[in-house]
Amino acid sequence: MSHRLKILLGFVLCLLLLGMPAVYIVLSWSSMHAFELRYLGQGTPRMKLLDPADPSMTSMVPYRIEVRNVRPYPVYLRELRLATQGALDTEYGMYSKFTFTGLVRVEKPTPPVPAYGVMQIEIDVPRNWMNSHHLDPAKLVGKVESYTATQQKWTEFSMWFDRITWRFRKPGVRSYRPPEYYLVPMKTGPMK
């Protein structure tokens, strides 16, 4: 084997080894429209404390929802807010990766929805809202915030970079973008 051919094969091998992670990052970056949602039904109503400052209990109806990942890589569900197609500004309930203990925001250890996998969640909707707004499951939409592992690693790096370089930047300029919501219509029949 000639010397030039060895150098050429080494160069091609290096390009392949460097190109595979780059292709994975590009393909796994987007989490937009990664989920399909299906309404499974209502659970048994229960009493729940809505606001720690208000000690009165509220009757909540859990809405069971199936979340299906349609991507070939795992995607984390950070938030899912229930709304109706006619009034997107009014939210009836929320699933969140975060919970509050007193005034402290705590992240729940939530696994990602696996590639082409399914996860079931419950969203508590106050019964008085459900009755007064006549919530029809066929008209529900999910306002979804999700992210991939690649996006999470980039956000962690960007926040670390911001902590180091905050003195040298203009006020209000960040190196990471805030999360974005996208709408997913709620299906009520069986998934295809």
Q: Are strands 182-187 and 35-42 parallel, antiparallel or unpaired?
A: parallel
122-139 burial, b at 16+ Cβ within 10 Å, e below that, comes to bbbbbeebbeeeebebee
What CATH number is attached to the domain comprising 73?
2.60.40
Q: So what's the pLDDT on residue 123?
A: 84
Q: Shortest CA distance to 17 belongs to which of 28, 9, 7, 29?
A: 9
- pLDDT per residue as tens, the chain (192 positions): 788 888 889 888 988 888 888 888 887 887 788 899 998 888 888 877 666 666 666 778 888 889 999 988 888 888 888 887 776 666 777 777 666 555 555 666 678 889 899 998 888 887 776 666 667 777 888 888 888 888 888 878 887 887 787 767 666 666 566 667 788 888 887 655
164 in helix, strand or coil? helix
* Assigned domain for 12 exists: no
pLDDT the model gives residue 73: 87
Let me know if residue 170 belongs to a domain.
Answer: no
In 29-164, DSSP assigns E strands to 35-42, 46-49, 57-69, 75-84, 93-96, 98-101, 104-107, 118-126, 140-148
> Which residues, 6+ apart, have CB-to-CB distance to 25 below 8 Å?
150
Residue 151 structural domain? 29-165+179-187
Q: What is the largest CA-CA distance in the chain?
A: 83
Asked if residue 102 is part of any domain, the answer here is yes
3-state SS assignment for residue 109: coil
Number of domains in the chain: 1
Question: How far is residue 67's CA from residue 15's CA, in Å, rounded to a whole number?
Answer: 38
Taking only Cα atoms into account, the Rg of the chain, rounded to an integer number of angstroms, comes to 22
- Do residues 52 and 113 lie in contact, with contact meaning Cβ atoms separated by under 8 Å? no
C-alpha to C-alpha distance for 15 and 95, rounded to whole angstroms:
43
- Give the C-alpha separation, 61 to 84, whole Å: 17
Any domain includes 136:
yes
Asked, for residue 143, whether it belongs to a domain, the answer is: yes
